[in-house]
Structure 1
Amino acid sequence: MQSIDHFDLRSFDLNLLIAFDAMMRERSVTRAAERLKIRQPAMSHNLSLLRTLFQDELFVRVGTVMQPTVRALTLAEPVAQALGMMQSVIHAKSGFDPTTDQRIFRMGFSSEVELLLMPELASRLRQRAPGVKLHGRPVQQRDVYRMLDDRILDLAIGCFDSQARRYRQQLLFEQSLSCVFHPDQMAFEGSIPLKDYLNLPHALVSLSESLHGCLESALDAIGDELNVVATSTEFLGVLGMVANAPLIATLPTRMARRYGKAFGLHVVPVPMTLTLPDVSLVWTVQEDNHPASQWLRAEIEDILGRMSS
């Protein structure tokens, strides 16, 4: 790529090249001014500046026509090409055709949304975007914004909330919780009494040193704790434990309803009020107007929007 002396160009009014091109096309100061929608004295001033800049008359009146000089004829083609390229850049729109595009979308997840979203999203992409690949990975709150800034992730989904102006955020859904248990392991009639809920052994998802995992803040807010005897970093691991042992698990309602039945579990309400952060879709301002990112975000919102809480 040719080196550009930006300071040199900064001292030159690029509008003069537009005036030069108009003169080449019209061969008349009056008509060139009309073409540029400026007054004739302004166009005459532009021509005077051009003559000083190029140290050449550029256009000489012959009868009623302003004829270009040899120097002007030499300049005409490269100036027209430069202006054409500038106009193409200004009006260019990046396109995305999911049926033919080939790319990898890199997504970070902080919650169960990966298990809710990826099966349906993968299915849709095989039908609508066969050249597109998905790369999903777990990501922690402390890392997600750095990874978005460094373009390691195209977008992130989970319990994220940033007020920084360089990010965009879309609420996907408010979280609610449900209990799951296996009827062969525990017997409850439609619901779990609060006393049993607090005292009976629990299995929970935890990505931290705490046995209470993501429920720790919600339990601290009401001053209670559960009898947690087992944790897993994976929701399916917790579901598997509950299916094979006399344990209760408290899971996001969408996850419990989506996968509880496959493990033969009953899904019932939590007998106390526990509040979790909302699940949001987060991306950077740089990706905001990119057609590929817009398409993927629309697909994600549609899939999760169809799932009842």
Structure 2
Amino acid sequence: MPSIDHFNLWSFDLNLLVAFDALMRERSVTRAAGRLKIQQSAMSHNLGTLRMLLDDELFVRVGQVMKPTPRAEALSAAIGRMLEQAQDAITSRDTFRPETEERTFSIGFSSELEVLLMPGLTAQVQRCAPRIRLLARPAQPDDVHRMLDDGAIDLAIGCFDEGAERHRRKLLFEQSLMCCFNPGLLDLPVPISRDVYLSQRHALVSQNASIRGCLEDALRAAGVELEVAMAAPEFLTVLGTVMQTPVLATLPSRIIRRYASLLGLATSAIPLDLTVTPISMVWAAHSDGDPASEWLRQQVQPILAEIEDDEPSQDLAAINLAASST
């Protein structure tokens, strides 16, 4: 990058170059003033300042027109190019063509959202943008906003709050919970009653130092305690534990409906009214108007429609209510 003498440029009123260009195009102080929507006296003052700074007459009256001097002619092309480039830089909006773009987007996920969204999102992106790559990264609620600020991720999807004013958040869907267990190790009636649920040992997802992890606040609000046998950050670890251990796993409903039957696990509604953090999409405010970032956020919407089809039915809600009153 060429060196720029910022001090000298700062002391030079660059608006004078605009005035110079207008004079070159109009060859008239009056018409140049009209072009810039200023008074003729102001344009005359600009010309006088230019003459003093550049030590040249620049424009000499010949009849009814102002004829540029050789120095003005020599300056004209360079100044014209500079002003055109400045105009393009100020007024043009970056374009993003997904069908030809080649780049990598990094997306931060919390817990199960990676496995729920990434397969469908990858398929969707590859259909319309085959050269775009998606990098999934784990993002903890305590770290996600810093990762966005640092540019470590372009987008985050999960149990995330609003962050600061420099962040944007869009609510995607509310979460619901179910539980599952290995019927070969636990002989439990389905739907599971409140007393049975509270009497069992549990396996939970935790992405922090708490053994109760993601359910800690919800359990406290419900005024109940669980005897937790294990907690892990990945839901597959929790499901794997349930396959080999007589414990109950409480997980998001979408995960249990998708994987429990494949692993031979029995499922039940949760006999408690547990409120958990909804799923949101979070991004840095400075990328609001970026066409590439906006395109990436739009790709999430079709995948959400598929996930919403997995929502619990009214029958399941009725079972949940019956179980909680048992």
Mark yes or no: TM-score above 0.5: yes
- Structure 1: how far apart are the matches of 2:258 and 2:98? 28
Indicate if the aligned counterparts of 2:175 and 2:279 stay in contact, CA closer than 8 A.
yes
8 Å contact 2:145–2:163 — kept in the other structure?
Answer: no
Following superposition, the deviation at residue 295 of structure 1 comes to 0.9
Q: String of CA shifts for 1:242-275, please: whole Å, max 9, x gaps.
A: 3455432211122222333333444432111111
Residue 299 of structure 2 corresponds to residue 299 of structure 1? yes
Q: Is the 8 A contact 1:174 1:278 kept in 2?
A: yes
Letter in 2 for 1:2: P
Distance of 1:86 and 1:145 partners within structure 2: 34
- Tell me the residue number matched to 1:33: 33
For 1:293, give the aligned amino acid.
S
Aligned to 2:149: 149
Q: Would the aligned equivalents of 1:172 and 1:305 in 2 still touch at CA under 8 Å?
A: no
**Structure 1 residue 186: deviation in Å?**
4.6
**How far apart are 1:107 and its partner, in Å?**
1.6
Q: 2: distance between equivalents of 1:44 and 1:98?
A: 50
Residue 189 (structure 1) shift: 5.4
* CA distance in 1: counterparts of 2:178 and 2:277, whole angstroms: 15
Map Cα deviations across residues 79-121 of structure 1 (whole Å, 9 max, x no partner): 1111111011112221211111111111222231111111101
CA distance in 1, matches of 2:231, 2:197: 17
What secondary structure sits across from 1:142 in the alignment? Answer: coil
Show structure 2 runs of 5+ residues with no match: 312-326
The equivalent residue for 1:92 is 92
Normalising to structure 2: TM-score of the pair? 0.87
Structure 2: distance between partners of 1:165 and 1:208 = 25
Aligned to 2:138: 138
The residue type paired with residue 107 of structure 1 is: I
The two structures, once aligned, show a CA RMSD in angstroms of 2.1
Partner Cα distance (1:247, 1:84) in 2:
70
Could you report, residue by residue, the CA deviation over 1:158-179 in whole angstroms, capped at 9, with x for unpaired residues? 2222441221222222222112
**Cα drift, residue 7 of structure 1:** 2.6
Matched, 1:129 2:120: no
What is the CA-CA distance between 1:14 and the residue it aligns to? 1.4
Matched, 1:57 2:57: yes
Q: How has the CA–CA distance of structure 1 residues 50 and 217 changed in structure 2, closer, same or farther, with 3 Å as cutoff?
A: same
SS at 1:89 equivalent: helix
Q: CA deviation at 1:290?
A: 1.4
The TM-score normalised by the length of structure 1 is: 0.91
Go from structure 1 to structure 2 and tell me whether the alpha carbon gap of 1:231 and 1:163 turns closer, same or farther (over 3 Å shift): closer
Whether 2:177 is the aligned partner of 1:172: answer: no
Between the two proteins, the alignment pairs up a number of residues equal to: 309
Moved more, 78-87 or 227-236: 227-236
**Displacement after TM superposition at 1:182 (Å):** 4.5
Distance apart, 1:288 and its partner CA: 2.1
- 1:270 and 2:270 correspond: yes
**Aligned partners of 1:263, 1:204: CA distance in 2, in Å?**
17
What's the counterpart of residue 102 of structure 2?
Answer: 102
Distance 1:213 1:54 in 2: 71
Q: Which amino acid counterpart does residue 112 of structure 1 have in structure 2?
A: E
**CA-CA distance at 1:31 after TM superposition:** 1.8
Q: Structure 1: which 5+ residue stretches go unaligned?
A: none
CA distance in 2, matches of 1:33, 1:210: 71
Match of 2:318 in 1: none
For residue 144 of structure 1, report the CA deviation from its aligned partner.
2.1
Measure the CA separation in 2 of the matches of 1:182 and 1:99: 47
Post-superposition offset of 1:306: 4.0
What is the aligned partner in structure 1 of residue 48 from structure 2? 48
Amino acid at match of 2:170: Q
